[in-house]
């Protein structure tokens, strides 16, 4: 397993409904941890790089309805 952390900027803070969907992301085998930045406008996703690539992680977040602004490089 190769753990990778990938930061994402959000276009808006997460609402109550979206916060509840964070737990649903763990249903994707290979997503290990999702953290919200202190300002509420950043997500840090730790994932198994042998299972996902950055585009897969971004797609999973978009399907879950998170307001992604951009990946932070």
Residues 6+ apart with CB under 8 A from 22: 34, 36
Strand locations in the chain, DSSP E?
Answer: 3-10, 31-36, 42-48, 68-71
Please state whether beta strands 42-48 and 68-71 pair in parallel, antiparallel, or not at all (unpaired): unpaired
Could you give the CA distance from residue 68 to residue 73 in angstroms, rounded to a whole number?
Answer: 14
Q: In whole angstroms, what is the distance from residue 24 CA to residue 21 CA?
A: 5
Three-state DSSP class for residue 63: helix
How many domains does the structure of the chain reveal? 1
Q: What is the CATH number of the domain that holds 44?
A: 3.30.70.100
Q: What's the pLDDT tens digit per position in 12-22?
A: 998 889 888 89
Q: What is the pLDDT of residues 26-71, one digit of tens each?
A: 888 999 999 999 988 999 999 999 999 999 999 999 999 999 997 7
- Structural domain including 17 reads 3-71
pTM, two decimals, is 0.87
């Amino acid at each position: 397993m190769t753990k990778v952390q990938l930061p994402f900027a959000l276009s808006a803070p997460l609402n109550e409904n979206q916060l509840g969907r964070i737990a649903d992301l763990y249903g994707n085998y290979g997503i290990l941890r999702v953290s919200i930045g202190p300002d509420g406008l950043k997500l840090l996703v730790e994932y198994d790089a042998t299972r996902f690539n950055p585009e897969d992680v971004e797609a999973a977040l978009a399907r879950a309805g998170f307001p992604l602004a951009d990946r932070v490089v």
